[in-house]
Amino acid sequence: MSVLGVTAIVVFGVASVVTGWLVFRTDSMVRAAYWLMASFVGVGAMLVTLDSQFLGLILILMMAGEMTIMAIFMVMYMMNPAGLNPMVMVHQHRTAIAAGVGSFLLLATVALVADFPADPAPAGADPTAELGFELLGRSMLVFESAGVALLAVMIGAVAVAGKWGRFGDADAGSVEPPLDPEEAAS
Amino acid sequence: MNPVVSVLFVGGVLGIGAYVVAVLDRAFGPVSRGPRDWFVWPIRRAAFLAVQRRTETERPDAEAWILAPALLAALAAAGLTAVPVTPSLAVADVSAGVVLFGAAMIIVMVAVFLQGWSPNSLFPLIGAYRFAAMALSFGIPFSLVVLTTAIPAESLSVGAIVASQEGLWNVVRQPLGLPVYLVTGAAVAFWGPFRIPEGTDLAGGAVLEASGSARAVWRIARAGVLVTLSVMGAAIFLGGHLGPVLPGWAWTALKTLVLLAVFVWSGHAFARMRVERFVWFGWVVLLPVALVDVFASGILAL
Amino acid sequence: MIELILVFSAAIFGIGVYGALSQQSFVMIMMGLELMINATVLAIVVFWWGTTGGDPRGQLLVVVVLAVMAIEAAMGFALVTAVYRARKADITEKLKRLRN
């Protein structure tokens, strides 16, 4: 890999880790969604550097749409829609930090200690075309299964989120959130 | 291409293109005082915005507000890099070029949302939501018609797509492609009948609070998105640099100019659409038409 | 090179674990899950790039993971909508009682 490639990997890697961290450090829901998108763009750029142009770009394309949907959902359902007020909404904080740091240390140790076989992808090949032939050739069943799963999820998501339910309208008998914070806490 | 030359090339194309858009807009517009005025008006307008005082709002998301126009301009530039202007001259004719273009045009949604959200003001926020609703409706048909042009070429690279139109342009081979592309393209640039997030009923919507240089950059960037859409449309539907007698770059410029004129003209020829009607239109009309386009091209390719 | 990228991947995964466990808001929990999938994609691609000799099945696996990501997002948003309709709940603490 060239010097430029290594530099790009380091820059994008650090950027995607930092922006991923900022997702949970920001006070604004919209910023959180777009920090997450920035993290995905960083990973997408690393994928492009690793000869997987198609996958990297598809990842970015998917995430841009998904993050906007996410921002809309947050403003629809979550508190503090458009503000920058201080916001800490966490539970079991210490356990979560320990789990996060623990999983990082475990995986990083494995990454550094394990001995990986060195068999790099050939330089001259066109991975995009190879992936296309693989998707619609030998591994068509896998690809089609993913498609069928997505179709099932579309139907399932509409069924779950729809206003109608098995026992009448889904919001029948629903409870408005209490306006009094003390009552909300109890 | 050399990196420095690439930056100058992309910047130059977007800058000249944005100026052409402004000139055409004046020419087609309701207030048109002859050719001299067409060419002077954009400069006068830019000079006015350059010295205008910046509006301030209460507790804006300052960083996002500054970055939103820059993001829009960067997306226009990123989309432009994949297009070969002549058979041998492209900034980066990557193997997944149309996917790069599609990704850049989908992220426009993020730029508009940030622009509307960050001033912490009511009408811009409504404009941002309108564009999000709109973008989710036109995103899929737009991506489908762009990717369909890759079927006859058997490659996602824009260079290969242009080369595959040697005998027959995609505008003839995929008759549904270009109309859907023009409609959704105008919607990507929220131009003309789809000026929904910046509608006059919202007193300017997403850009209501933007003034001075921020507004100027936003306008230029939006014209740049329109230029990128036209260059790409010329390449994937009208055969790009292919054509007799004239050199390749001249054909690209000519076809781009035609598409730009259509885009800008549509802004003055049609009334603005309401957002809920556009959402209906996107899912019920554009999406099935785009799917028919995909299936027809697939059958033709077999 | 592989080791370096895997460390980046591990860091993103760790942040995702932290987010998914610590956040109260449903959508923020989903963000944690997304970060974990993001790290997975990166790890798969670097293994494909460095250790498989360019076997396209490595990339195929990423396509499957992207489908999983879409499924996670769609079902997540559907469940958030359903819960909000029934309970007007936006954080996990409001769901302590599963009946009524």
Inside any domain, residue A58: yes
> In chain A, which residue's Cα lies nearest the Cα of C19?
A24
Residue spans of beta strands (DSSP E) within B104-252: none
User: Is pLDDT above 80 for A170?
Assistant: no
Domain count along chain A: 2
| Portion 73-92 of C in contact with A at CB < 8 A | 73-75, 77-82, 84-88, 90-92
Residues of chain A contacting residue B156, judged by C-beta atoms under 8 Å apart: 54, 128
- Reported as a single tens digit per residue, the pLDDT across B28-73 is 877 777 788 888 888 888 888 888 888 888 777 778 888 889 999 9
**CA distance to partner chain A, nearest, from residue C20 (Å):** 8
Q: By the CB < 8 Å criterion, does A148 face chain C? A: no
Q: What percent of chain B has pLDDT over 70?
A: 99
Q: By the CB < 8 Å criterion, does C17 face chain A? A: yes
Interface size between A and B, measured as CB pairs under 8 A: 72
Q: At residue B179, what is the residue type?
A: P
Read out DSSP for B150-183? HHHHTSS-HHHHHHTTSSS-HHHHSTTHHHHHHH
Inside any domain, residue A8: yes
Rounded Cα distance between C5 and A107, Å, is: 12
A94 Cβ contact partners less than 8 Å away, ≥ 6 residues apart: none
**CA distance to partner chain A, nearest, from residue C48 (Å):** 7
**CA distance to partner chain A, nearest, from residue B101 (Å):** 9
Scan for tokens 């954080």, then name that residue.
C91
- Reported as a single tens digit per residue, the pLDDT across B152-204 is 888 888 888 888 888 788 777 888 888 899 999 988 888 878 888 887 777 77
Q: At residue A165, what is the residue type?
A: G
Mutate to test the interface with A, among B110, B120, B156 (most CBs of A within 10 A): B110
Scan for tokens 């007007």, then name that residue.
C88
At residue B169, the pLDDT reads 83
Is the CB of residue B166 less than 8 Å from the CB of residue B242? yes
* Domain extent at residue A168: 127-174
- Domains belonging to chain C, first-starting first, are 2-95 (1.10.287.3510)
> In chain A, which residue's Cα lies nearest the Cα of B116?
A82
Is the CB of residue A71 less than 8 Å from the CB of residue B125? no
Q: By the CB < 8 Å criterion, does B135 face chain A? A: yes
| Cβ–Cβ below 8 Å for C14 and A107 | yes
In the three-class reduction of DSSP (H, G, I as helix; E, B as strand; rest coil), residue A126 is classed as coil
Residues of chain A contacting residue B136, judged by C-beta atoms under 8 Å apart: 65, 68-69
Inside any domain, residue A86: no
Closest by alpha carbon to A26, among B111, B108, C28? Answer: C28
Is the CB of residue B264 less than 8 Å from the CB of residue B115? no
Q: Residue B245: how many CB atoms within 10 A of its CB?
A: 6
Nearest to A82 among B103, B117, B156 (CB): B117
**CA distance to partner chain A, nearest, from residue C40 (Å):** 11
Specify the length of chain B in residues: 302
Q: What is the separation of C-alpha B223 from the centre of its chain, rounded to a whole number of angstroms?
A: 7
Same domain, A3 and A64: yes
**CA distance to partner chain C, nearest, from residue A41 (Å):** 10
Is the CB of residue A104 less than 8 Å from the CB of residue C14? yes
B300: confidence class by pLDDT, cuts 50, 70, 90: confident
Q: By the CB < 8 Å criterion, does A19 face chain C? A: no
B157 Cβ contact partners less than 8 Å away, ≥ 6 residues apart: B93, B94, B95, B96, B97, B98
Is the CB of residue A175 less than 8 Å from the CB of residue C87? yes
| Cβ–Cβ below 8 Å for C60 and A16 | no
**CA distance to partner chain C, nearest, from residue A43 (Å):** 7
> In chain B, which residue's Cα lies nearest the Cα of A125?
B95
Q: What percent of chain A has pLDDT over 90?
A: 13
Rounded Cα distance between B90 and B79, Å, is: 12
Helix B3-28 × helix B62-81 angle, to 10°: 100
At residue A182, the pLDDT reads 61
Closest by alpha carbon to B257, among B20, B55, B6, B12? Answer: B20
- Reported as a single tens digit per residue, the pLDDT across B260-296 is 999 888 888 888 888 888 888 888 999 999 999 889 8
Closest by alpha carbon to B111, among A23, A34, A45, A72? Answer: A34
* Averaged pLDDT, A70-78: 74
Residues of chain A contacting residue B139, judged by C-beta atoms under 8 Å apart: 65
Q: By the CB < 8 Å criterion, does A29 face chain B? A: no
Neighbours of chain B (3+ CB pairs under 8 A): A
Lowest mean pLDDT among A82-86, A119-123, B78-82, C31-35: A82-86
Strand partners, A169: A164
Q: What is the separation of C-alpha C9 from the centre of its chain, rounded to a whole number of angstroms?
A: 13
Higher pLDDT, A166 or B76: B76
User: Is pLDDT above 80 for A180?
Assistant: no
Closest by alpha carbon to A154, among C70, C26, C81, B133? Answer: C70
Buried b (16+ CB within 10 A) or exposed e, A137-148: eebeebbeebee
> In chain A, which residue's Cα lies nearest the Cα of C17?
A100
Rounded Cα distance between B249 and B116, Å, is: 37
Q: By the CB < 8 Å criterion, does C95 face chain A? A: no
Inside any domain, residue A146: yes
| Cβ–Cβ below 8 Å for C85 and A149 | no
C3 Cβ contact partners less than 8 Å away, ≥ 6 residues apart: A111, A112, A116
Buried b (16+ CB within 10 A) or exposed e, B119-136: bbbebbbbbbbbbbbbbb
A155 Cβ contact partners less than 8 Å away, ≥ 6 residues apart: none
Q: Please, do chains C and B touch (3+ CB pairs < 8 Å)?
A: no
B60 Cβ contact partners less than 8 Å away, ≥ 6 residues apart: B118, B119, B120, B121, B209
Mutate to test the interface with A, among B63, B98, B99, B188 (most CBs of A within 10 A): B99
Rounded Cα distance between B77 and B83, Å, is: 11
Strand partners, B90: B84
Inside any domain, residue A92: no
Rounded Cα distance between C29 and A90, Å, is: 10
Inside any domain, residue A157: yes
Q: What is the DSSP letter of A164?
A: E
CA-based max dimension of chain B: 60
Rounded Cα distance between B200 and B222, Å, is: 17
Q: Which two tokens stand for residue B132?
A: 């999000």
Is the CB of residue C19 less than 8 Å from the CB of residue C47? no
| Structural Rg of chain C based on CA atoms | 17
Mutate to test the interface with C, among A35, A78, A79, A135 (most CBs of C within 10 A): A78
Q: What is the separation of C-alpha C77 from the centre of its chain, rounded to a whole number of angstroms?
A: 13
Per-residue pLDDT of chain C (100 residues; tens, 9 = 90+): 888 889 999 999 999 999 888 887 788 888 899 899 999 999 998 888 888 777 888 888 888 999 998 898 888 888 888 777 776 666 666 666 555 4
Inside any domain, residue A9: yes
**CA distance to partner chain A, nearest, from residue C83 (Å):** 9
* Averaged pLDDT, A5-12: 90
